[in-house]
Amino acid sequence: MADKDRIPPWRHTGSRRRLLLLIIVLIPTVISANTMARLLPDRGSILLDTFLVAVFTTLFAWISVGFWTSIAGLVILLTKRDSFRVTRACDGLDLSIADPAARTAILIPIYNEDVKRVVAGLRTTFDSVRQTGSPDRFDFFLLSDTTDPDVWVEEEEAWYRFCKEEDAFGRVFYRKRTSNTKRKSGNVADFCRRWGKSYRYMAVFDADSIMSGETLVRLVQIMEARPDIGILQTPPKAVNRETLIARVQQFANHVYGPLLAAGLHFWQLGDAQYCGHNAILRVEPFIKHCELPRLPGKGPLSGDILSHDYVESALMCRAGYGIWLTYDLRGSWEETPPTLIDELKRDRRWCQGNLQHTRLLFTRGFFPAHRALFINGILSYGSALLWLAFLTVNSVQAISEVLFEPVYMPILRKFLPEMPVWRPHWAVSLLGSTTLLLFLPKFLGALPILLADFRARLYGGKIRLFFSILLEVALSMILTPIRMIFHSLFVISTLLGKSVGWGTQSRDDRGTTWREAFRAHWWGSLLGICWATVVYWIIPSFFWWITPITFSLGLSVPISVFTGRAAVGRFFRKAGLFLIPEEVERPPELVVLDENLSRPAPYTPFPFSRKQGFLRAVVDPLVHGLHTSLLLRFRRGAPSKERSREKIVEKALASGPDSLTRKEKTALLRAPHHLRELHRKVWRLGEDNSAARWGLVPPEDESS
Amino acid sequence: MNFPAGRSSRSDVTPAQRAARDRVMLYIRGLDLPPAKGLRLAAESMEAAPSSPEEAMDALEKVLGEEGLLPGLPGERGQNIRSFPPLNRSVMVAEEMDRIPWRTSFFRFLRRWRRELFGREK
């Protein structure tokens, strides 16, 4: 595709910018490392000192990158000068797609999700696309990898009802995969193999993603104008959560996110990262170049590539296509995990996926920027372990100062003793510069907001915006130690060979119970209490330095419960804190989403819940008919398999649906003839107790 | 309660008949047919006075079959609903991801960077 001899102009600029980044990160890092080395008391072991300086240097460089990225973003947002802005391609165009062959498939991969939320999101995006000038250029695919038989049936029914209500047959499709090979990336690849050739582009969503029709049309227009682009990533805004931790994340995403996104665009240009959702991809090169192999070997760093998005973007770039971030495009939303525990569960998966990238760092043909992104991803979790090691070694060194006598004459033939010198102004300046790197970007995030509207109305006013930033800083300081020890645990357990399963992401504001919090955090609390006690007992003066860490760890159970409560989040919302523009002035798409979520449930004469999908597929004649009808090309299995299915039917009739395991239910749902037989026999059950198990008569004690 | 002469009282209906009637009515409600049509089909299936849910459902199945309202199976009577478009197959082959020694990788990185900094523009 790309002419290899000639280099696109953005690569020249990108290389110069990255050289600049390297210089402005390395120079302060070297100075700080030198200061740190001189600050150490010279009485601990040389090994410990060297380790401390090495870890400090890595972490300082790491946070410097974030700082300079925010500064670069701020410059772009304030000057509004960016000759590489990809959205230039659609400036002045109306909201239509001229070429009828420029068809886009909107993919919504789902895995045991809340069906009501998925369909509400689908309906919202579908409505919004319909209002553009080119609705016929878009098709929608619900790509199900669901393993729960109840959810499977619910999905089918929801898809059918949606198509009937919106007259969307032939435009909105549903596909259930029998095997979940390669998880989400395999799900998308399966689409590409079956229908990819029919589409020029595909927009990949998450189950909770919403994108406006206008944004989708703009993305297609940019892709049409720039055939050198392989992937266009939008920066999705976090919305719709009520719990405190999620609202704080939403606020951070809105205030600091634009700076980071613009800054990342400044360094990365066409070497940006694909996040796996809320993005549009060119299908042909994706099919040709982006199929992921299994990593050979055993253990968690092998097998299916979990963080597939990083690798797909590296492969797309290797094939000569650019990956760009549309940092200034709005109308793209997602939802964040509602509680700390949900966030940590997600991080566990991401951690394993990112650590797998250590095996891909030296893959032939990958661009340096993508290798840097791999390192960045690895450090996202590896840095937690480094912080923990840094703090632990600091404590050990402080303790060793008390326990061991200082050596004033390390070399016998030395004339003068070496006296330990404490340079408080160095320590303060080092602490100050680290604090500046960490927290200044947060306050700088308010600048573009205030310049756009000095009253900051969409954030509750400038005073509230300021207090929200302060509180966000405080809360992230409280949460960081808890995240640190969990991320460290994830890194260690992954390296020790413990793999993760594929869990469903929680997407509601149910909160965390005390029991759940205790089960997740007891060991962290214990660690914090022991750490604080030992330090206080041996060296009380150091205790106060370590308090921010041990305090959070010791109280991690109540912190987890408190931050996961929707009532607390709503209290802050009422107080006008952590407000985001979507809460003050709801965009039309999110208003429609709310309406879609509150649509009344359809009529059913049966007494069981809509979530009891298997039961409904057996009993409800309409659901049964739909399900069996959707099982295309069913072939009867081997006699042994048929016999085992017959046994399941017998068991179901004798003991009711609750007696069946998830595997047995799935086996029946995959066998339409046996399901039909069960349907007929259940409706012919005479004995009241048996019929009551299937919801055909009220239970005996109720009817009598 | 006293019923006027000629009207049947509750005691005229046996529990089995009641069960049969309720089963048929529930199935008809489950089909969510237009009320008049649903009641007509239910009445037709009850004409033979079934004395058990099994007999009632047999009769109802016959009536529904005549009306083409029985839940279909794949391949029968062309009632399949396709939930996805016709296949348009292509092949996706996993990319080669062979590694190179880190030193080679580093020197290549420097060469590439130099080329990108000072090479010819498109």
**A438-448 tens-digit pLDDT:** 999 999 999 99
DSSP string, A513-547: -HHHHHHHHHHHHHHHHHHHHHHHHH-HHHHHHHH
Candidate from A215-229, A562-576, A686-700, B32-46 with smallest mean pLDDT: A686-700
Average pLDDT over residues A353-365: 89
A679, closest residue in chain B (CA to CA): B71
Identity at A282, one-letter amino acid code: R
Residues of chain B contacting A159 with CB distance shorter than 8 Å: 83
Q: Chain A within 8 Å of B78 (Cβ-Cβ)?
A: no
Residues of chain B contacting A139 with CB distance shorter than 8 Å: 85
Is residue B96 domain-resident?
no
Tokens at A188, concatenated: 């998308």
Question: pLDDT > 90: what percent of chain B?
Answer: 34
Residues in chain B, total = 122
Look up the pTM and report it: 0.90
| pLDDT over threshold 90, residue B103 | no
Is residue A192 domain-resident?
yes
| pLDDT over threshold 50, residue A704 | no
- Say if residues A222 and A232 touch (Cβ distance below 8 Å): yes
Is residue B79 domain-resident?
no
Residues of chain B contacting A156 with CB distance shorter than 8 Å: 83
Calculate how close chain A gets to B21, using CA atoms only, in Å: 12
| pLDDT over threshold 80, residue A699 | no
pLDDT band at B94 (very low <50, low <70, confident <90, very high): confident
Is residue A566 domain-resident?
no
pLDDT band at A45 (very low <50, low <70, confident <90, very high): low
What pLDDT was estimated at residue A1?
46
| A603-635 residue pLDDT tens | 889 988 889 999 999 999 999 999 988 886 666
Cross-chain residue pair A629–B73, CB shorter than 8 Å: yes
Average pLDDT over residues A207-212: 94
Cross-chain residue pair A360–B73, CB shorter than 8 Å: no
Is residue B87 domain-resident?
no
Q: What is the extent of the structural domain holding A678? A: 613-703
Range 327-366 of A in CB contact (< 8 A) with B: 359-364
| pLDDT over threshold 90, residue A30 | yes
Where a domain ends, among A323, A341, A359? A341
Q: Which of A19, A194, A679 sits opposite B87 (nearest CB)?
A: A194
DSSP string, A614-661: HHHHHH-HHHHHHHHHH-TT-----HHHHHHHHHHHHHHHHH-GGGS-
Calculate how close chain B gets to A142, using CA atoms only, in Å: 10
pLDDT band at A42 (very low <50, low <70, confident <90, very high): low
CB atoms within 10 A of CB A285: 17
Is residue A351 domain-resident?
no
Is residue B23 domain-resident?
yes
Cross-chain residue pair B94–A291, CB shorter than 8 Å: yes
Q: Chain B within 8 Å of A156 (Cβ-Cβ)?
A: yes
Mutate to test the interface with B, among A3, A13, A15, A305 (most CBs of B within 10 A): A15
| pLDDT over threshold 50, residue A112 | yes
pLDDT band at A701 (very low <50, low <70, confident <90, very high): low
Residues of chain A contacting B79 with CB distance shorter than 8 Å: 625, 629
Where a domain ends, among A341, A365, A395? A341
B93, closest residue in chain A (CA to CA): A291
Q: Which of B32, B90, B97 sits opposite A622 (nearest CB)?
A: B32
| A385-416 residue pLDDT tens | 999 998 998 888 888 777 777 666 666 566 66
Q: What is the extent of the structural domain holding B63? A: 14-67
Is residue A463 domain-resident?
no
Calculate how close chain A gets to B45, using CA atoms only, in Å: 14
DSSP 8-state class, residue A135: G
What pLDDT was estimated at residue A578?
96
| A128-180 residue pLDDT tens | 999 998 889 999 999 999 999 999 999 999 999 999 999 999 999 999 998 88
| A269-294 residue pLDDT tens | 999 999 999 999 999 999 999 999 88
Domain with residue A153: its CATH number is 3.90.550.10
> How, if at all, do strands A172-176 and A322-325 pair?
unpaired
CA-to-CA distance for A335 and A106, rounded, in angstroms? Answer: 18
What pLDDT was estimated at residue A38?
82
What pLDDT was estimated at residue A2?
45
Average pLDDT over residues B46-52: 84
Cross-chain residue pair A287–B92, CB shorter than 8 Å: yes
Candidate from A204-218, A348-362, B69-83, B105-119 with smallest mean pLDDT: B69-83
Candidate from A53-67, A392-406, A514-528 with smallest mean pLDDT: A392-406
Cross-chain residue pair B74–A629, CB shorter than 8 Å: yes
Residues of chain A contacting B115 with CB distance shorter than 8 Å: 7
- Say if residues A495 and A352 touch (Cβ distance below 8 Å): no
Cross-chain residue pair A697–B19, CB shorter than 8 Å: yes
CA-to-CA distance for A123 and A150, rounded, in angstroms? Answer: 22
Average pLDDT over residues A344-363: 91
What pLDDT was estimated at residue B82?
82
Range 5-44 of B in CB contact (< 8 A) with A: 16, 19, 22-23, 26-27, 29-32
Mutate to test the interface with A, among B73, B95, B104, B113 (most CBs of A within 10 A): B95
> How, if at all, do strands A279-282 and A201-204 pair?
antiparallel
What pLDDT was estimated at residue A4?
53
Handedness of CA A678, A680, A686, A692 (dihedral sign): positive
Calculate how close chain B gets to A311, using CA atoms only, in Å: 10
Mutate to test the interface with B, among A5, A6, A11, A694 (most CBs of B within 10 A): A11
- At A281, give phi and psi (nearest 5°): -125, 145
Question: B79-104: buried (b, 16+ CB within 10 Å) or exposed (e) per residue?
Answer: ebbebbbeeeebebeebebeeeeeee
- Number of structural domains (chain B) is 1
Give helix A662-669 / helix A639-655 axis angle, nearest 10°.
120
Is residue B91 domain-resident?
no
What pLDDT was estimated at residue B112?
81
Where a domain ends, among A341, A366, A395? A341
What pLDDT was estimated at residue A554?
95
Q: Which of B72, B95, B99 sits opposite A362 (nearest CB)?
A: B99
Average pLDDT over residues A228-256: 95
Is residue A102 domain-resident?
yes
- Number of structural domains (chain A) is 2
What pLDDT was estimated at residue B10?
56
Cross-chain residue pair B85–A173, CB shorter than 8 Å: yes
Range 300-319 of A in CB contact (< 8 A) with B: 315
B53, closest residue in chain A (CA to CA): A684
CA-to-CA distance for A124 and A331, rounded, in angstroms? Answer: 12
| pLDDT over threshold 80, residue A343 | yes
Cross-chain residue pair B85–A686, CB shorter than 8 Å: no
- Say if residues A647 and A679 touch (Cβ distance below 8 Å): no
Cross-chain residue pair B54–A174, CB shorter than 8 Å: no
Cross-chain residue pair A198–B88, CB shorter than 8 Å: yes
What pLDDT was estimated at residue A272?
94
| B14-27 residue pLDDT tens | 888 888 999 999 99
| pLDDT over threshold 70, residue B77 | no
Spatial strand order of the sheet with A104-110 comes to A172-176, A138-144, A104-110, A201-204, A279-282, A229-233, A322-325
Calculate how close chain A gets to B82, using CA atoms only, in Å: 6
Q: Chain B within 8 Å of A173 (Cβ-Cβ)?
A: yes
Tokens at B93, concatenated: 């082959």
| A–B interface: beta-carbon pairs under 8 A | 176
What pLDDT was estimated at residue B1?
47
CA-to-CA distance for A477 and A140, rounded, in angstroms? Answer: 42
CA-to-CA distance for A617 and A630, rounded, in angstroms? Answer: 12
Is residue A674 domain-resident?
yes
Cross-chain residue pair B95–A684, CB shorter than 8 Å: no
A159, closest residue in chain B (CA to CA): B83
B119, closest residue in chain A (CA to CA): A7
Cross-chain residue pair A292–B96, CB shorter than 8 Å: no
Q: Chain B within 8 Å of A636 (Cβ-Cβ)?
A: no
A169, closest residue in chain B (CA to CA): B83
Tokens at A408, concatenated: 């004033």
Greater pLDDT, A20 or A498? A20
C-alpha count within 13 angstroms, C-beta hemisphere, residue A590: 17
Mutate to test the interface with A, among B18, B61, B90, B115 (most CBs of A within 10 A): B90
C-alpha count within 13 angstroms, C-beta hemisphere, residue A331: 16
Q: Chain A within 8 Å of B83 (Cβ-Cβ)?
A: yes
Handedness of CA B29, B31, B33, B37 (dihedral sign): negative
Question: pLDDT > 70: what percent of chain A?
Answer: 93
What pLDDT was estimated at residue B29?
93
Q: Which of B32, B83, B97 sits opposite A293 (nearest CB)?
A: B97
pLDDT band at A43 (very low <50, low <70, confident <90, very high): low
pLDDT band at B122 (very low <50, low <70, confident <90, very high): low
Q: Which of A197-201, A499-503, B118-122 tops mean pLDDT? A: A197-201
CA-to-CA distance for A239 and A669, rounded, in angstroms? Answer: 36
- Cβ contacts of residue A276 below 8 Å, gap of 6+? A184, A204, A206, A308, A309
Spatial strand order of the sheet with A210-211 comes to A210-211, A332-334, A237-238
What pLDDT was estimated at residue A658?
92
What pLDDT was estimated at residue B63?
92
Long-range contacts of A529-535 (CB under 8 A, 24+ apart): A529/A553, A529/A554, A531/A395, A534/A395, A534/A399, A535/A395, A535/A398, A535/A399
